[in-house]
Amino acid sequence: MHTSRTIPTFAATAFLACVAAFSSCASSRSADLSELAPGDEGVAIRCGRVLTVDEDDRIHGPGLILVKNGRIAYVGPERDIPAGYAVAEHPDLWAAPGMVELHAHVQGSGGDINDMVYPVNADLRASAGMVPSNPAIRRACAGGVTTLFGIPGSGTSIGGFGVIFKAKTKATYDEAVVRDPGGMKVAQSYNPERRAGDLGATRAGLAWILEQYNEEARAMNREGTSTPMLENLQKVHARELPVLIHSAGSDGYPAAARMWHVGNGTRAVLSHGCFDAHLTAPWLVKTGVPLNVGPREIDFASTRDGRITGIAARYLEAGAKDLSLCTDSPVVPQEELFLQGAVAARYGADSYTMLRAVTIAPARVFGLEDRLGSLEVGKDADIVLRTGDPLDPRSRVERVYIDGRVEYDRRQDGQWF
């Protein structure tokens, strides 16, 4: 692994040498290598290279993935294929996990979902406006993004609750949704500063309103009571659901961490972190709050130091763990999540860490690592086949499997973006 200021590549000899020892150690300890039984569905995918993005960062080249009934049954070096499996031969392609986007606004048929009457809308759900397999979701799939957290907009302090769904290209709501509600959306800088003359017109006022609702939710949890308006906010305070917080700048970013992570102990993930927020990286990292960076991946104006600063690199230098990236789609198109990783690597972040930042890291901080984010036995078979390095803009997505089924095939479907 190395930090690169050019287009990131995993083909470098030094990088492959450091993981070669893992290639012969497949995750076959719990692999299912039995023949397919009647009624089972299975496909064996042979690839030139398999990037598992597991805890040992195993790379197999050439590699084999067995998919049985939508889950990964084996991933490792080539071996004999059990009877009954259909075989997909891709000797020139690279396999990697489907990417996970934690900050998306494309779940609806068009536009965002906001309720601007009140500054806090803890009872609002984005899932009511979701249109599965809409054109934006289909493009996400064609770009290798297989799971998204679709959330309300940032017009109010608590926008509501989002839905986690798969980027399936022909699916019903039940077929696409992973978790509903998937987590809460909070906006704590810039966008929610209202102009209606109420307390939300200032950040101090916004903070007061948020803490008022937080205290009410905590009190109900202590008393064992609930209301329809606050029941999901109560789950956030019980750590049953995560909260994604729109925040930025050296003032707003640490303020969000203090309220939600340090003060209230929720499963908070701070999103954006752009402008000059990276100046507070040492303190933020010390708190342990997970960071979700984007859509801006560089700072060239806010700090006024004449430099082009790679934002992700600054957080990593401070010791950030499980850092993830986002597009805030459609601000940056959701199908360009891989490009966020490429830009972050171009400006100083470790390239392989940026692959983890769009796969296993976002899955882990949202409690989805048992299903998503890496190619491991037992996980959902969300697999993306590319012509090369997953973060190299010169690579092309050729095929996408979600839950073991082909959702996009460039040769049959054409280029969608």
Q: How would residue 116 be classed by pLDDT, with cut points 50, 70 and 90?
A: confident
Residues of the chain with CATH 2.30.40.10: 13-97+377-413
Whose tokens are 């860490």? That residue is: 353
Cβ neighbours for 214, distance < 8 A, ≥ 6 positions apart: 233, 237, 259, 264
CATH match for 13-97+377-413 among 3.40.50.360, 2.30.40.10, 3.30.360.10, 3.40.50.1370: 2.30.40.10
Q: Which residue has the higher pLDDT, 97 or 117?
A: 97
Q: Of 373, 384, 288, 412, give the one whose Cα is nearest residue 47.
A: 384
pLDDT score of 7 more than 60: no
Q: Of 177, 126, 119, give the one whose Cα is nearest residue 151.
A: 126
Average pLDDT over residues 132-152: 97
Span of 78-82, 151-155, 266-270 with lowest mean pLDDT: 151-155
Q: Which residue has the higher pLDDT, 9 or 31?
A: 31
Q: Of 126, 96, 190, give the one whose Cα is nearest residue 401.
A: 96
Q: How would residue 246 be classed by pLDDT, with cut points 50, 70 and 90?
A: very high
The predicted-structure confidence for 323-374, as pLDDT tens digits, reads as follows 999 999 999 999 999 999 999 999 999 999 999 999 999 999 999 999 999 9
Q: CA 413, CA 408: separation in Å to the nearest integer?
A: 7
Query: What percent of the chain stands above pLDDT 90?
Result: 82
pTM of the model: 0.92
Residue 113 structure tokens: 């979902």
AA letter at 345: A
Q: CA 48, CA 387: separation in Å to the nearest integer?
A: 10
pLDDT score of 2 more than 70: no
AA letter at 357: A
Domain range 99-365, CATH class: alpha beta
AA letter at 247: S
Predicted pLDDT of residue 193? 81
Average pLDDT over residues 101-107: 97
The predicted-structure confidence for 19-48, as pLDDT tens digits, reads as follows 443 443 444 458 999 999 999 999 999 999
Q: How would residue 268 be classed by pLDDT, with cut points 50, 70 and 90?
A: very high
The predicted-structure confidence for 222-231, as pLDDT tens digits, reads as follows 999 999 999 9
The predicted-structure confidence for 168-217, as pLDDT tens digits, reads as follows 999 999 999 999 999 999 998 888 886 655 667 788 888 999 999 999 99
Q: Which residue has the higher pLDDT, 251 or 200?
A: 251
The gap between the terminal CA atoms of the chain, to the nearest Å, is 31
Average pLDDT over residues 4-15: 39
Predicted pLDDT of residue 257? 97
Predicted pLDDT of residue 200? 72
AA letter at 327: T
Average pLDDT, the chain: 91
AA letter at 211: E
Largest CA distance in the chain: 70
- The DSSP bridge pattern shows strands 267-272 and 291-293 to be parallel
Residues of the chain with CATH 3.20.20.140: 99-365
